[in-house]
C-alpha cells in the first residue's frame, strides 16, 4: 500500500512527538499559526509552541501516557496550496495498578504545501484533551 506525501508528513509528526523532539516538532508549524479549539482561538508563535510541547509531554508522561499515535487521516485539497487534514489520534495511558485506558480524539490541520518544507498553518483540536483526561479519571478535577 502506497503512503501518500501527507501520510508521510503526519508519520514524521507522530515520530517527533513520540521522541519528545520539541524543536523539530515545532519546526513543522509555520512561524505563526492559528490554534482554534474548544476554548477559543489564538495566533501562536512556533517558538512559544516549543516550550508548550515540552510541558505537555511532561504532564502526559506523569499521567501514564505511553503513546499517542495516528489512527486515521483524511486529506481534502482546498486549492493548489492548502489542504485540510482531518485526523484521529489514539491515546494510551497505563498506570501500574489500573487497566490501560485508550481513547481517540479528532483534530484537524490546515497544511501549506507550497514550500519545500510543508507547514501547519492552522491546528484545530476538536476536543479539550485536559477535560477528556479529567472525564476519564486520569487527571484530578479542578477544585
The tens digit of pLDDT for each residue in 6-54 reads 999 999 999 999 887 889 999 999 999 999 999 999 999 988 998 888 8
SS3 (DSSP) at 58: helix
Q: What is the pLDDT of residue 96?
A: 77
Residue 97 vs residues 16, 64, 68, 101, 139: alpha-carbon distances, Å: 29, 11, 21, 12, 16
Q: Can you give the pLDDT at residue 119?
A: 96
Among the four given CATH numbers 3.10.450.50, 2.40.50.100, 3.40.50.2300, 3.40.50.2000, the one describing domain 5-135 = 3.10.450.50
Q: Which residue has the cell 510541547?
A: 53
Amino acid at each position: 500500500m502506497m503512503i501518500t506525501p501527507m501520510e508521510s508528513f503526519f508519520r514524521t509528526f507522530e515520530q517527533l512527538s513520540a521522541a519528545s523532539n520539541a524543536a523539530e516538532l515545532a519546526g513543522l508549524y509555520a512561524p505563526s499559526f492559528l490554534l482554534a479549539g474548544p476554548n477559543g482561538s489564538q495566533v501562536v508563535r512556533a517558538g512559544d509552541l516549543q516550550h508548550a510541547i515540552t510541558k505537555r509531554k511532561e504532564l502526559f508522561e506523569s499521567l501514564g501516557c505511553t503513546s499517542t499515535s495516528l489512527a486515521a487521516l483524511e486529506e481534502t485539497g482546498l486549492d493548489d496550496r492548502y489542504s485540510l487534514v482531518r485526523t484521529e489520534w489514539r491515546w494510551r495511558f497505563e498506570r501500574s495498578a489500573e487497566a490501560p485506558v485508550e481513547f481517540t480524539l479528532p483534530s484537524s490541520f490546515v497544511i501549506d504545501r507550497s514550500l519545500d518544507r510543508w507547514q501547519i498553518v492552522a491546528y484545530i483540536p476538536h476536543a479539550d484533551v485536559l477535560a477528556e483526561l479529567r472525564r476519564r479519571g486520569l487527571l484530578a478535577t479542578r477544585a
